[in-house]
């Protein structure tokens, strides 16, 4: 799954022990989730489960990721793999300097 376009997202902010999550979709199917752990907590490694990427962030990053998903287009999920040397995340495509908002 190296790079997959994100078509839609859903926010899940639970009222109990589950951490806040942003679910990512492509073509109507879930492709992964961004999981927001308490600030300062050690983050578990990113993982793949049932074909969906699980990326771990601190709660401080929630608003930044939500802003990217709301305001940038297109957006992609990058998942290289689990482990310390792999960079996973969400990303935009190359943009021209000064293009502004559309």
Across the range 66-89, mean pLDDT stands at 91
Residue 22 resides in a domain = yes
User: Which tokens is 9 given?
Assistant: 């997202």
Residue 100 resides in a domain = no
The domain of 31 spans 3-91
Specify the pLDDT at position 93.
82
Residue from 55, 2, 5 nearest 28 by CA: 5
Across the range 57-85, mean pLDDT stands at 93
Residue 46 resides in a domain = yes
Assess whether pLDDT exceeds 80 at residue 98.
no
Specify the pLDDT at position 56.
96
Specify the pLDDT at position 94.
72
- For 6, 13, 28, 40, 50, the CA distances from 24, given in Å and listed in that order, are 6, 14, 10, 25, 14
Dihedral sign from CA coordinates of 78, 31, 27, 19: negative
Residue 98 resides in a domain = no
Residue 101 resides in a domain = no
């Amino acid at each position: 799954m190296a790079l997959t376009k994100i078509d839609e997202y859903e926010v899940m902010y639970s009222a109990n022990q589950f951490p806040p999550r942003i679910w990512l979709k492509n073509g109507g199917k879930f492709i992964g989730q961004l999981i927001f752990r308490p600030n300062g907590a050690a983050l578990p490694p990113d993982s793949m489960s049932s074909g969906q990427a699980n990326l771990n962030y601190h709660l401080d990053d929630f608003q930044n990721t939500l802003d990217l998903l709301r305001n940038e287009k297109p957006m992609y999920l990058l998942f290289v793999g689990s482990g310390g040397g792999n960079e996973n995340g969400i990303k935009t495509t190359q943009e021209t300097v000064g293009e502004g908002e559309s």
